[in-house]
A and B are shown apart, each in its own frame.
Chain A
Amino acid sequence: MSKGEVVVLDFWVSPFCMRVKIALEEKGVEYEGREEDLFGGKSELLLKSNPIYQKVPVLLHNGKPLCESTTIVSYIDEVWPSPPLLPPCAYGRAQARFWADFIDKKVFDAVGKIWRSKGKVAESAKEEFLEILKQLEGALGEKDYFGGDSFGFVDVIAIPLTSWFHAVEKFGGFKVEDECPKFSAWMKKCMQKESVAKIIPDPEKVYEFVIMMRKMQGIE
Chain B
Amino acid sequence: MAKEVKLLGFWTSPYVYRVEWALKLKGVDYEYLEEDIFNKSTRLLELNPIHKKVPVLVHDKKVILESHVILEYIDETWEQNPLLPKDPRERAMARFWAKYGDEKLLSAWKATWLKGEEKAKAVEESIEALEKIEEELKEKKYFEGEGIGYLDLALGWIAYWLPVMEKVGSMQLLKEEKFPAITSWISKFLSHPVIKDKLPPWDELVVYFDEKREARYNSYYPKQREN
A residues engaging B (CB < 8 A)?
Answer: 52, 61, 64, 66-68, 71-72, 74-75, 78-79, 90-91, 93-94, 97-98, 101-102, 135
The answer to whether B89 touches A97 (Cβ under 8 A) is no
The closest CB in chain A to the CB of B99 belongs to A68
* Residues 63-109 of B at the A interface (beta carbon under 8 Å): 64-66, 68-70, 72-73, 76-77, 88-89, 91-93, 95-96, 99-100
A162 to B146, CA, bound (A): 44
Tell me which residues across on chain A come within 8 A of B59, comparing CB atoms.
91
B residues engaging A (CB < 8 A)?
Answer: 50, 59, 62, 64-66, 68-70, 72-73, 76-77, 88-89, 91-93, 95-96, 99-100, 132
Tell me which residues across on chain B come within 8 A of A64, comparing CB atoms.
89
Choice from B73, B77, B91 contacting A75 with Cβ under 8 Å: B91
Choice from B72, B77, B93 contacting A97 with Cβ under 8 Å: B72
What would 13 A/B residue contacts be, using CB atoms closer than 8 Å?
A71-B92, A71-B95, A71-B99, A74-B95, A78-B88, A78-B91, A90-B77, A91-B59, A91-B73, A93-B76, A94-B62, A97-B68, A101-B66
The closest CB in chain B to the CB of A51 belongs to B132
The closest CB in chain B to the CB of A97 belongs to B69
Closest Cβ of chain B: how far from A72's Cβ, in Å? 7
Tell me which residues across on chain B come within 8 A of A74, comparing CB atoms.
91-92, 95
A46 to B88, CA, bound (A): 22
Tell me which residues across on chain B come within 8 A of A71, comparing CB atoms.
92, 95-96, 99
With known contacts A71-B92, A74-B95, A79-B88, A52–B72 Cβ distance under 8 A: no
The closest CB in chain A to the CB of B95 belongs to A71
With known contacts A94-B69, A94-B70, A98-B69, A75–B99 Cβ distance under 8 A: no
Tell me which residues across on chain A come within 8 A of B100, comparing CB atoms.
52
Closest Cβ of chain B: how far from A52's Cβ, in Å? 6
Closest Cβ of chain B: how far from A153's Cβ, in Å? 12
The closest CB in chain A to the CB of B70 belongs to A94
Tell me which residues across on chain A come within 8 A of B95, comparing CB atoms.
68, 71, 74
A67 to B99, CA, bound (A): 11
Can you name 6 extra interface pairs (CB under 8 A) apart from A66-B89, A94-B70? A79-B88, A91-B62, A93-B73, A94-B64, A98-B64, A98-B65
The answer to whether B50 touches A68 (Cβ under 8 A) is no
Tell me which residues across on chain A come within 8 A of B96, comparing CB atoms.
66-68, 71
The closest CB in chain B to the CB of A53 belongs to B100
A66 to B64, CA, bound (A): 27
Closest Cβ of chain A: how far from B23's Cβ, in Å? 14
A98 to B69, CA, bound (A): 6
The answer to whether B99 touches A94 (Cβ under 8 A) is no
A98 to B48, CA, bound (A): 11
The answer to whether A93 touches B72 (Cβ under 8 A) is yes
Tell me which residues across on chain A come within 8 A of B64, comparing CB atoms.
91, 94, 98
Complex A-B, nearest 4 residue pairs according to Cβ-Cβ distance, in ascending order: A90-B76, A78-B88, A94-B73, A75-B92
Closest Cβ of chain B: how far from A75's Cβ, in Å? 4
Closest Cβ of chain A: how far from B185's Cβ, in Å? 20
Closest Cβ of chain A: how far from B48's Cβ, in Å? 10
Tell me which residues across on chain B come within 8 A of A75, comparing CB atoms.
88-89, 91-92
Tell me which residues across on chain B come within 8 A of A97, comparing CB atoms.
66, 68-69, 72
The answer to whether A101 touches B89 (Cβ under 8 A) is no
Tell me which residues across on chain B come within 8 A of A68, comparing CB atoms.
95-96, 99
The answer to whether A90 touches B73 (Cβ under 8 A) is yes
